[in-house]
Amino acid sequence: MHDKTILLVDDEAALLEVNREALMGLGCAVKTAGNGAQALDVLDQGGVDLVVTDLRMPRLGGQEMLEEMRARGCDAEVIFLTGYGSVESAVRCIQLGAADYLLKPFGIRDLQDKVAKVLREREMRHAARGASPRKPATPDPQGLDLVLDFTQALRRQRDVRSVVKEFLVQLREAFHPDAMSLFFADGARADLGRDVHWGPLLRDNRRVRDWFSSVATRLMDRRSPRLFESLPVHGEGQGAVSAMLAPVLDGQRLLGMALVLRDHAAGPYSLPALQLLSVFAAHAASALDNVAVQCRLQDMNLEIITSHVRSVEAKDVYTKGHSERVGAYAAMLGREVGLGPADLELLSFAGVLHDVGKIGVPDRILNKPGPLSAAEFEVMKQHPVLGRDILADLRSLQGVLPIVYHHHEWYNGQGYPDGLAGDAIPFLARIVSVVDGYEAMTSSRAYQAARSPQEAAAILRQGAGQQWDGRLVDVWCRIVATRDLARIGAQASLSVTLPLA
């Protein structure tokens, strides 16, 4: 970096000084200017490789300065510092031909990294093109819309898998590739899982995939993008491909590299396309980091809630294993009535978690031998409400809430908490209600000895149409008559993993 000259442009003298010291730390020569007009005077003297400039300044702002630079044939790189940090303004910088942007507030290290990256890319580009001056990137009016659509679509995703999927969908629409990969960095695999490949050339061809994987690994070390305008792919029935790799980088945290490639005959990728891919990858990184953090928090919450379930069962020795068995039975009944995997997963979770609200019921009520008084029953009736409130903050368990909340509704409307009747009770809650009743009857309780499966089935039939949905009781009684529920119940285990939609 010692032969490089940077021009810093900012109307705030204090910031100018801090940034100047930071960049001198890279070994660069640093010039300064207080606004765009002064900067143009400095640039006219030549020798500047990179301009790091504020976007909003008196006299001449960053955008107008860049336009004037290009009009005067100045090919220095530009990094915009943008303080009113919307994605839109940052993307506009790229559209205007800036090499990169930095959202305020940023750390000294962020600035140094970004500057080093842009200077390195400039050097590589000049080396590759015989040091011919760079043709300024043409503003791409379509790119802005693409990135805005992209960031909005990413914001809607709630888990890693959905973000990755959306990222690939958007890359496909923006770059029309024949194949794409996401190579994840070692430190990010715990959150993001295995590498993702799309398109036969990468998915089915190990040799090509391994080659790009090794290139991606090298580029990860340098955190830099790379453009292959034309790359021969021997023996694959293809002459050459054009490929781009961009770091999936969220601030200092490198998550991996994104690769898109297509047949060279379909048109090679260009530097503006690589810049656009880098912007896409940066926004995907931020979305991925965000959902990964959310999922980690939810995992922690789920651990806490699972420990609540255990402590409910510890409070009431008679209910030990009840929740696990209700989870297993609910999934069995759900499968029997033809529900899909997503509903079955919900039933497993809801079964395990349905009584978590009992953590708020005093031991003397929970363990009382004999019937509860009216006042005690009122306290007991709060447990579905409390259960829903405990789980309410878990984004990934939203589907479980109505099941937990309504699992004590009666088919005839005599249940609680809302007194819903018939089909107004959520179907999955009706399933849990049937198997919850069965499990309670076939287990020893403080107030009763365990009944046999046949006795429990007979009681369910008596309550069909009153407490329980008669159709579900029929199906469950068939299961009771034909399956070894004692063995299945004993094998049920309290293992909860996050449901990913």
Q: Are strands 196-198 and 179-184 parallel, antiparallel or unpaired?
A: antiparallel
* DSSP for 147-186, written as a single string: HHHHHHHHHT--SHHHHHHHHHHHHHHHH--SEEEEEEPG
What secondary structure letter does DSSP report for 468? B
**Size of the residue set binding Fe ion (CB under 5 A):** 1
Convert residues 30-69 into a mask of x (bound to Fe ion by CB under 5 A) and - (unbound): ----------------------------------------
Q: Which long-range contacts (CB under 8 A, 24 or more apart) does 182-187 make?
A: 182/248, 182/256, 182/257, 182/258, 182/259, 183/212, 183/213, 183/216, 183/217, 183/220, 183/256, 183/257, 183/259, 184/255, 184/256, 185/220, 185/254, 185/255, 185/256, 187/254
Strand (E) or helix (H) holding 482: helix 470-482
Nearest approach in angstroms of CB 440 to Fe ion is 9
Convert residues 298-337 into a mask of x (bound to Fe ion by CB under 5 A) and - (unbound): ----------------------------------------
Report which residue's Cβ sits closest to Fe ion. Answer: 355
Residues 222-241 that bind Fe ion (CB under 5 A): none
Residue number, 10 or 355, with CB nearest to Fe ion: 355
Residue number, 122 or 407, with CB nearest to Fe ion: 407
Distance CA 185, CA 221 (A): 10
Token pair 């799309």 is found at 198
Convert residues 81-120 into a mask of x (bound to Fe ion by CB under 5 A) and - (unbound): ----------------------------------------
Nearest approach in angstroms of CB 94 to Fe ion is 56
Residue number, 121 or 324, with CB nearest to Fe ion: 324
Q: List the structure tokens of 291.
A: 């959902």
Quick check: helix, strand or coil at residue 267? coil
The answer to whether the peptide bond before residue 200 is cis (omega within 30 degrees of 0) is no
Residue number, 289 or 355, with CB nearest to Fe ion: 355
Nearest approach in angstroms of CB 486 to Fe ion is 22
Residue number, 65 or 333, with CB nearest to Fe ion: 333
Nearest approach in angstroms of CB 339 to Fe ion is 21
Go through the chain and tell me how many residues it has: 501
Nearest approach in angstroms of CB 407 to Fe ion is 6
Q: Other C-beta atoms within 10 Å of 390: how many?
A: 19
CB 246 within 8 A of CB 167: no
Please say whether the dihedral angle defined by the alpha carbons of residues 82, 86, 89 and 93, taken in this order, is positive or negative: positive
Residues 337-356 that bind Fe ion (CB under 5 A): 355
Nearest approach in angstroms of CB 358 to Fe ion is 7
Distance CA 69, CA 30 (A): 18
Residue number, 183 or 416, with CB nearest to Fe ion: 416
Residue number, 159 or 355, with CB nearest to Fe ion: 355
Nearest approach in angstroms of CB 383 to Fe ion is 6
Q: Using alpha carbons, list the distances in angstroms from residue 141 to 113, 153, 266, 270.
A: 28, 19, 21, 16
Backbone angles phi, psi at 204, to 5 degrees: -105, -5
Distance CA 135, CA 43 (A): 17
Convert residues 353-372 into a mask of x (bound to Fe ion by CB under 5 A) and - (unbound): --x-----------------
Nearest approach in angstroms of CB 376 to Fe ion is 15
Residue number, 288 or 435, with CB nearest to Fe ion: 435
Nearest approach in angstroms of CB 186 to Fe ion is 45
Nearest approach in angstroms of CB 381 to Fe ion is 10
Nearest approach in angstroms of CB 163 to Fe ion is 36
Residue number, 198 or 416, with CB nearest to Fe ion: 416
Residue number, 77 or 355, with CB nearest to Fe ion: 355
Nearest approach in angstroms of CB 354 to Fe ion is 6
Distance CA 4, CA 48 (A): 8
Q: Which of 488, 429, 485, 439 is nearest to 460 (CA)?
A: 439
Residue number, 80 or 410, with CB nearest to Fe ion: 410
Residue number, 287 or 456, with CB nearest to Fe ion: 456
Give the amino acid at 212.
F
Q: Which of 337, 320, 299 is nearest to 493 (CA)?
A: 320
> For binding to Fe ion (CB under 5 A), which residues are involved?
355
